[in-house]
Structure 1
Amino acid sequence: MGRGAHGAQGLARVAVVVRAGAAPLWWSGVAATGFGALPPGVGGRRIGVLAGAAMFIVAAAVVPLVRRRRYVVLARAATRAGKYDVLQDRAVTVRNWRRGHRWWLLLAFAAALGSAFAIPAAGGMLLAGLGTGLRLKAAWIGRRERAGQTLLWVRVDWLGRRGGRPVGKAVKGLRGTGVAAGDAAPGGARRRSAALV
């Protein structure tokens, strides 16, 4: 969805885009870790698990920091969403991201399984760490949204073909709304009230 009537724009929540990959990466990482622990591998299970734990920690720590400065700059300069702007549902944003990245997710899962024959479980733990890092990044965005009482949105047509670059080069700025707008809470999780309906 791009520009509509009255110059309106289709807007997707920044935190939802960031969070969209967390669950598939986490669960594929858990599955790959379980299956990857079965073969003894070249390095042995103990070395594999220790290496995987280190990669998990590094990934979970580094991912939230990637492009953080650009997030901060764009968030500070965010303009108010227009009256006719269309706020994309959380489920649509998540579905678009996962469709756009499904082959990458499958390749990452296959690579994690294949790496188990060299270093058991390590590849799966790396995937899980990436998923954890994305969730932590979304939580950090949520804290900024709560502090500023402003939800951050990005134009859908600026997200790229895979729908997953909320602060990519094509993004010229972000839009802001009040914290009650849309169907996702600060940080991109489902609103509790909406989940009960």
Structure 2
Amino acid sequence: MGRAGQSLVRVAVVVRAGAAPLWWLGVLAAGIGFLIPGLTGRRVGGYAGAALFLVCAAVVVLVRRRRYTGWADAATRAGKFDFLQDRAVTVRNWRRAHRWWLLGAFLAAVACSFAVPIAVGLALSGAGTGLWLKAGWLGRREERDEALLWVRTDWAGEGRPVGAQVKGYRTTGLGAGDAVPGGARRRR
């Protein structure tokens, strides 16, 4: 009787999938906000946006860090029959699942520019930067441990690699999959 494998998705790729859309939509919203004078003016909006950028990036990097390390420390080796999901599929699935949230965040950032220009757009960019930094942190941990972190696709849901459904991580060697440690595309 054959043994069935499970589909696994890279943890760092799921984290990194939202970084680029959030960053670019934030920059676009901040650019549109720069064109709108707003109630507080561009200078106040720019200073507030810079502060929000730093705060959002720091919060996103630090939130749930203990859960990531806990699951990584308790990770088991991936099975022989497990399927490793491609990076492009993971990114596409994440962006499809979150497209309405991204659109809503962009529209909210543009709408807030009528009160405080630039600020909310830079906060959105800060969140994207925080995701990118968190993926980099995961990549450094993967290189240190010489093991890539994977989670079952059904547990990760719609882009939550440390959500309530997650019951553990799996590991493979650094050569597995089509993404380098940290979730970036592997150069051929």
TM-score by length of 2: 0.98
Q: Which residue in 1 is equivalent to 2:100?
A: 103
Gap regions ≥5 residues in structure 2 = none
- Report the aligned-residue RMSD: 0.7
Find out whether 1:45 has 2:42 as its counterpart.
yes
Tell me how far apart the structure 2 counterparts of residues 149 and 42 of structure 1 sit (CA, whole Å): 52
Q: Which residue in 2 is equivalent to 1:151?
A: 148
SS at match of 2:3: helix
Tell me how far apart the structure 1 counterparts of residues 4 and 168 of structure 2 sit (CA, whole Å): 16
Q: Which residue in 2 is equivalent to 1:13?
A: 10
Find out whether 1:166 has 2:161 as its counterpart.
yes
* Structure 1 segments (4+ residues) deviating >6 Å: none
Tell me how far apart the structure 2 counterparts of residues 54 and 175 of structure 1 sit (CA, whole Å): 38
Superposed CA deviations along residues 20-66 of structure 1, whole A, max 9, x for unmatched, are 00000000001001011111110111000000000000111111111
Tell me how far apart the structure 2 counterparts of residues 23 and 118 of structure 1 sit (CA, whole Å): 26
Superposed, 1:1-197 pairs within 5 Å as: 6-160=3-157, 163-193=158-188
Tell me how far apart the structure 1 counterparts of residues 95 and 53 of structure 2 sit (CA, whole Å): 22
User: Which amino acid in 1 is paired with 2:115?
Assistant: A
Deviation (angstroms), 1:140: 0.2
Superposed CA deviations along residues 128-160 of structure 1, whole A, max 9, x for unmatched, are 000000000000000000000000000001112
Deviation (angstroms), 1:6: 1.5
Q: How many percent identity over aligned positions? A: 68
Superposed CA deviations along residues 135-193 of structure 1, whole A, max 9, x for unmatched, are 00000000000000000000001112xx2000111000000000000000000000122
Gap regions ≥5 residues in structure 1 = none
SS at match of 1:37: helix
Tell me how far apart the structure 1 counterparts of residues 11 and 3 of structure 2 sit (CA, whole Å): 23
TM-score by length of 1: 0.94
Tell me how far apart the structure 2 counterparts of residues 40 and 90 of structure 1 sit (CA, whole Å): 41
Tell me how far apart the structure 2 counterparts of residues 117 and 142 of structure 1 sit (CA, whole Å): 39
Deviation (angstroms), 1:7: 2.9
User: Which amino acid in 1 is paired with 2:166?
Assistant: V
Q: How many residues align?
A: 187
